[in-house]
Structure 1
């Protein structure tokens, strides 16, 4: 990209452009093989308060992004070593939240469309003015800011949900659990006071057994609702107990490959992965007609790789609205809170697979 492909900005509008952005430090990574262009854009963006770093090729960009976070990346589509699309693919595979603007020539509009399909936020065609570039970056930064706010709100909603679950769990245990315990003791007292006839004893014993089963069910529900229980017993044990109960109640065979005695250093991982599994299995039981479910979790490349697959009827991703359902929204919100992402693959008659990739360091086991 030659320097004459950038038109000078009307600096009379400089103050207006600055006013459009809230005063906070914003980082931009510029990827271009032309040193004059890199220096020009860096000086321009620095003047508008951006924190800018420049690199000369795609491999340098990938190396930089593997170590540092840049909210906005501006890259030429055609670089001397790799295409800008490969930078996009790296960001997508990493599960990063960088917004990418592609710079391209008029003759490469098809490539720009391809870049958008690979996750680019926007593209700018040559020649372009400095004003256009600044406006696009301003808009990209605003998207990052709004996404950050949305993630914060999602975190608060999830936190409020867990607090409400905790309250309901406590009420179930304290109110319903104690009431059932009183009924159980009352039945025992009646058994000793009433005539010891076979029909009366049979009714009391049957009722006592039913109360005992209800108490166990109430205890199970109370534990599943309470997030602290998952942390106390550890993720692996809590999940295995849940899978055993789920399989018994639904008749669906569940196999799992989980590390033994796994508990995460951050208790939020225990809670969110447990809830994600609950939501996924509930969806399977409701919609899939599956007879088998496979669950696996492994640590690879400093990430947690978690997958849930079923052999159900599946669905057409292009036409089915289940990918936008509340269940998947909840799973994505929880994965996003942990800095990860969720993907779903399904085909009619071939089941469904939900995969999560969440960055994480060394686990406790």
Structure 2
């Protein structure tokens, strides 16, 4: 009887030990699960914070770009339009006073006509910078080709291009964004890259628009983030974001610059 009692106690002890071990394993698994889950959540939160921070940078870049464009337009209006209108106003008052000889009348009248012609030309240039007429009238492909040809004619840089663009693949607003990216890249090549040659390639693959640009300028170390933080590159990045596209940049000191944009 005593032996049976001892055996029962051993069975109970083994059962209790098993239960305790199962509870321990369960608690351990729960702790592991919650710890892993917390790490995943923390990583997701960190990722979201980085995305929000990146979006803020892009929005800030868009605002800065818009303000720079407004300043440039205001400066153009002040320097080109206002000064010429002042000349017209002064000469018009001379005519109004009427105290002019026939010869003076002809000179003043000619000055007004000349200043008017120059004012109209300045207004056309400002309007062209805001929205190139060729982009609206003939489309994106012709606008980019005219842009490249205008730089080629100026001999500041030699641009070769191969543009295969399905008309109206992008809506007019997005075509303007991509056109501005072209402008920014060429200006960067001329002003900062000191490039003599560059290429523009535009093609389609499936439903994607592939845009690539290269130059043979002085280049920079693209591994350093500070080299990507200039207003020009932030402007390009913000416009690519508005196009729902992605881009990659490659450059080395002395080995030029290249960018690939997929929309």
TM superposition score category, shorter chain reference: 0.5 to 0.7
Range that drifts further, 318-327 or 139-148: 318-327
Whole-Å separation in 2 of the counterparts to 1:167 and 1:317 = 30
Secondary structure of residue in 2 paired with 1:8: helix
Q: Tell me if structure 2 keeps the 8 A contact 1:305–1:355.
A: yes
Give the superposed CA RMSD.
4.4
Q: Which has the higher contact order (CA 8 A, sep 6+)?
A: 2
User: Which structure has the highest strand share of the two?
Assistant: 1
Deviations 1:250-271 (A, max 9, x none): 6212222224684344334213
Q: Tell me if structure 2 keeps the 8 A contact 1:243–1:254.
A: yes
Deviations 1:186-235 (A, max 9, x none): 769989x66659xx96x9979966774564244223332359x6873433
Give yes or no for the alignment of 1:296 onto 2:164.
no
Q: Which residue of 1 aligns with 2:214?
A: 309
Q: Which residue of 1 aligns with 2:252?
A: 347
Deviations 1:95-115 (A, max 9, x none): xxxxxxxxxxxxxxxxxxxxx
Whole-Å separation in 2 of the counterparts to 1:167 and 1:231 = 23
Q: Which residue of 1 aligns with 2:140?
A: 235
- 1:256-295 aligned within 5 A: 256-259=161-164, 262-295=167-200
Give yes or no for the alignment of 1:329 onto 2:234.
yes
TM-score of the pair, normalised by structure 2: 0.64
Secondary structure of residue in 1 paired with 2:37: helix
Task: Give the unaligned 5+ runs of structure 1.
Answer: 11-128, 359-365
TM-score of the pair, normalised by structure 1: 0.49
Q: Tell me if structure 2 keeps the 8 A contact 1:316–1:347.
A: yes
Secondary structure of residue in 2 paired with 1:296: strand
Q: Tell me if structure 1 keeps the 8 A contact 2:81–2:119.
A: no
Higher-Rg member (1/2): 2
Secondary structure of residue in 1 paired with 2:214: strand
User: Which structure has the highest helix share of the two?
Assistant: 2
Give yes or no for the alignment of 1:8 onto 2:29.
yes
Q: Which residue of 2 aligns with 1:23?
A: none
Go from structure 1 to structure 2 and tell me whether the alpha carbon gap of 1:178 and 1:134 turns closer, same or farther (over 3 Å shift): same
- Please report how far the alpha carbon of residue 292 of structure 1 lies from its aligned counterpart in structure 2 after TM superposition: 1.6
Q: Which residue of 2 aligns with 1:145?
A: 48
Q: Tell me if structure 2 keeps the 8 A contact 1:309–1:353.
A: yes
- 1:63-212 aligned within 5 A: 129-150=32-53, 152-153=55-56, 156-157=59-60, 160=63, 165=69, 177=81, 180=84, 183=87, 196=103, 212=117
Deviations 1:45-102 (A, max 9, x none): xxxxxxxxxxxxxxxxxxxxxxxxxxxxxxxxxxxxxxxxxxxxxxxxxxxxxxxxxx
Whole-Å separation in 2 of the counterparts to 1:357 and 1:159 = 20
